[in-house]
Amino acid sequence: MTTILSPVLLLLFCCALLPFAATSRIIEIPLSKREFSSVHSARAYTERLRISQQPSISSSNTRNFFKPAIQTLFEKGSIAPIVPLKDYEDVQYYGEITIGNPPQSFKMVFDTGSSNLWAPSVECKDLSCVRHARYNHTQSRTYVKNGRSFNITYGTGAVKGYLSQDDVMVGGLYVKNQVFGEVTRELGNTFLNAKIDGILGMAFPQIAVDGVTPVFNNMMQQGLLEKNLFSFYMTKNPQSVSSALILGGVNEKYYSGPITYIPVQQQSYWLMYMDDVALNGQNMQLCYPACAAIADTGTSLIAATPDIMNPILNSIQVNEDCSNIDSNPSVTFILSGKSFTLTPRDYVLKISSQGQTQCVAGFQTLNMNTSGFIILGDTFISTYYTVFDYENKRVGFAKSNQNL
Residues annotated as part of the active site: 111, 296
Q: Cα separation of 104 and 136, whole Å?
A: 8
Give CA angle at 391 (389, 395), nearest 5°.
Answer: 20
Burial of 352 (0-12, 13-18, 19+ CB in 10 A): middle
Asked if the peptide bond before residue 102 counts as cis, ω within 30 degrees of 0, the response is: yes
Beta-strand pair 356-361/302-304: unpaired
24-26-31 Cα angle (round to 5): 140
- Closest by CA position to 175, among listed 119, 207, 216: 216
Contact 124, 161 (CB under 8 A): yes
Q: What CA–CA distance (Å, rounded) separates 310 from 318?
A: 15
Within 202-287, strands assigned E span 229-233, 244-247, 255-263, 266-267, 270-279, 282-283
Contact 103, 19 (CB under 8 A): no
| Calpha distance 44→53 (Å, rounded) | 14
What is the rounded distance in angstroms from the CA atom of residue 167 to the CA atom of residue 141? 10
| DSSP codes, 117-183 | EEEEBTT--SHHHHTS--B-GGG-TT-EEEEEEEEEEETTEEEEEEEEEEEEEETTEEEEEEEEEEE
Q: How far apart are CA 157 and CA 129, in angstroms?
A: 13
User: Is 53 within 8 Å of 306 (Cβ atoms)?
Assistant: no
DSSP annotation of 213: P
Question: Residues with Cβ < 8 Å from 103, sequence gap 6 or more?
Answer: 169
- Tell me how far apart the alpha carbons of residues 340 and 386 are, in angstroms, rounded to a whole number: 12
